[in-house]
Every structure is written in C-alpha cells, then in structure tokens.
C-alpha cells in the first residue's frame, strides 16, 4: 500500500507515501461547489487524491495520473455550476469504464458536517449493479469493520439513484444522486 520516495530534495530522507489508486479532477475552471465536491470525494474514497485541473488538458491529467500509478481517473464535468457527470477512466485500458449523469449532490459543508477520512470502505446495501461495480473498482469492498458503508436506493417512482456514505446512521460523505435508467419502465 505504501511506496518509498527515494530522494527527497531538502531532507535526503526516504519518505513513505500512500499508493494512489484513484485521481479526481474536474472540467476546466471548476466553480467552488465542484471543487468542494472533489475534496469531499477524496475523503471517502481510500487511496485517492485530487489534481487541480486549471488550464491543463485532459491528456496532461491522464499522464500525471499514470505517473502516480493510479488505476482510475474520475472526471467530474460541470453543468450550470454544479457537478454534471461522473466519468470514470480506466487508466490501464485508457477507456471510459463508467459514465453517470449526476442529478444532484448534497455536500457535507451544506449539511454542516465534519469530514472524515475513510481508510476502509464497504459496500452496504446497493441494489444497482453498475454503481456497485464502480464502488468496488474504486476501493469499496465486501469487508467487516469498516470506516464507512456505501448504501444506495432508487428514490420512489423515479430514475434517480441516491448514494450515501454512512456509519452508525451518520453521513460521512457527499450524498450523490445519479440519473439512471429505471429498470421498471419500458423504453420502447
């Protein structure tokens, strides 16, 4: 889980740093709400960091992520100043593995709740297979004694899937609502 950086310029000491599995970034010139969302995501996904996009191209961000030996890059696209898409790039294959529309988010800062660093996340009750698979890819596993549990459900009579990160009924991360197909509706 930890790698050693051999030459630290100023101190000359070996430095243990965590292995990065997931990198988060946004579209260019992200507004404050999206940047806050990214920060909160790095707290709930183990072994993750945020790279500020600024004016960097997506290829530059991908190159930095590969240099960090990350497995996944999550790009949060912006829609009307809010998170609009949750796009997961598999850096091994250099393909988009998941691409979800974000219907809405509720941030911890809006709920006036403290941030908690999650080192060990578990899959709780997740009925949507694509969300469950994404969470497993991003470090949430079927384990016991976890810092947080990911739970989700379709909101009543809708195509909106709400994902929460909780422990002992306390919310530990942003609440994310994805717009997914409703498996009970016929689209013909």
Q: What pTM value is reported for the model?
A: 0.86
Residue 129: give the domain boundaries.
2-179
pLDDT at 18: 67
pLDDT at 1: 40
Report if residue 185 sits inside a domain.
no
Ranges of residues in the chain with a pLDDT under 50 are 1-10, 183-188
pLDDT at 91: 97
Report if residue 53 sits inside a domain.
yes
Report if residue 187 sits inside a domain.
no
Report if residue 10 sits inside a domain.
yes
Report if residue 137 sits inside a domain.
yes
pLDDT at 179: 97
Report if residue 184 sits inside a domain.
no
DSSP-derived letter for residue 43 is H
Please give the tally of structural domains in the chain: 1
pLDDT at 181: 72
Are the C-beta atoms of residues 110 and 32 closer than 8 Å to each other?
no
**For the purposes of burial, counting CB atoms within 10 Å of the CB of 147, is it exposed (0-12), middle (13-18) or buried (19 or more)?**
middle
Name the β-bridge partners of 170: 167
Q: Report the CATH number at residue 162.
A: 3.40.50.10480
pLDDT at 11: 53
Report if residue 47 sits inside a domain.
yes
């Amino acid at each position: 889980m930890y790698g050693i950086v051999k030459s630290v310029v100023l101190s000359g000491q070996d430095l243990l740093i965590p292995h990065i599995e997931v990198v988060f970034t946004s579209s260019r010139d992200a507004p404050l709400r999206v940047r806050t969302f990214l920060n909160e995501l790095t707290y709930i996904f183990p072994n993750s960091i945020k790279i500020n996009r600024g004016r960097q191209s997506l290829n530059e961000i991908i190159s930095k992520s590969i240099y960090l030996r990350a497995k996944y890059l999550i790009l949060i696209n912006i829609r009307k100043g809010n998170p609009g898409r949750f796009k997961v790039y598999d850096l091994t294959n250099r393909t988009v593995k998941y691409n979800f529309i974000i219907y809405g988010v509720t941030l911890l800062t809006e709920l006036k709740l403290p941030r908690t660093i999650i080192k060990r996340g578990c899959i709780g009750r997740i009925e949507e297979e694509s969300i469950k698979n994404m969470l497993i890819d991003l470090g949430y596993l079927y384990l016991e004694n976890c810092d947080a549990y990911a739970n989700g459900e379709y909101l009543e009579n809708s195509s909106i899937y709400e994902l929460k990160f909780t422990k002992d009924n306390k919310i530990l991360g942003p609440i994310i609502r994805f717009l997914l197909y409703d498996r009970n509706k016929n689209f013909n």
